[in-house]
Structure formats: structure tokens, C-alpha cells
Amino acid sequence: EAGVAQSPRYKIIEKRQSVAFWCNPISGHATLYWYQQILGQGPKLLIQFQNNGVVDDSQLPKDRFSAERLKGVDSTLKIQPAKLEDSAVYLCASSPGTGRGQPQHFGDGTRLSIL
């Protein structure tokens, strides 16, 4: 089966600019996650969707980050305006559901550099 697709692979922007990332989960996976991974750290959950509804966005900096999954399939994550500390790899993952810790499958990520 096709894996989680993410684009772009790399993005370089200046601080205060805007950027958007796209993710297409594994077909049939109801749950979609966005993670931020700063160099030298493990992934940190930003937001979790179940179909097109938000399950957990408690760690999403809502003053600058937004995400949507309008049709319950692919998703976009936006940062506006970007800050230097947003430099990280943004990972998308999907799983069939959320019950009892279902395996999450990750995409290759988008590496964001803020100048």
C-alpha cells in the first residue's frame, strides 16, 4: 500500500513569512497527526484529527499555526507568520483509528528552515 505522502520535502522562508505543508495519509486511515521534530529531539504532537474533526490540538500554537482536514482525507498545516524557532521537520502520520494505541505510520516529513 502507498505510504503517507508529504510535500514539499524542503522549504526555506524568511521569518514573518507564511508557509503551508500538505499531507495525504494512507488510504482508509481515519486518524491523521501532525508532529514537529526539532533537531535532536523526538517528534512532538501538534494536532490530531479523527476524520475531519480535531481530537487534540492542545500543543498547537494557535496564534500562528493552523491545520485543517476538510474532507477527512488529506490535510494542510499552515504557519503564519513564521518565527526562527519554527525551524524543524514537520511530520505527518496516520493510523486506522485511535483505540488502544494503534500503530502510526509516518511520512518523510517537510524540513523547514527559517532565515
Partner 1 sequence: GENVEQHPSTLSVQEGDSAVIKCTYSDSASNYFPWYKQELGKGSQLIIDIRSNVGEKKDQRIAVTLNKTAKHFSLHITETQPEDSAVYFCAAYSTGGGNKLTFGTGTQLKVEL
Interface with partner 1 by CB under 8 A: which residues? 4, 6, 40-45, 48, 55-56, 58, 91, 93, 98, 100-101, 103-109
| Minimum CB distance to partner 1, residue 112 (Å) | 14
Nearer to partner 1, 56 or 74 (CB): 56
Closest approach, Cβ 14 to partner 1, in A, equals 24
Q: 98 by DSSP, 3-state: which? A: coil
Phi, psi of 39 (to 5 degrees): -50, 125
Nearest distance from C-beta of residue 5 to partner 1, angstroms: 11
Output 39 or 70, the one with its CB closest to partner 1: 39
d(CA 27, CA 34): 17
Cβ 10 to partner 1 shortest distance, Å = 10
Q: Say how far apart CA 49 and CA 83 lie, in whole Å.
A: 25
Length of the chain (residues): 115
Torsion of CA 17, 106, 23, 33, to 10 degrees: -80
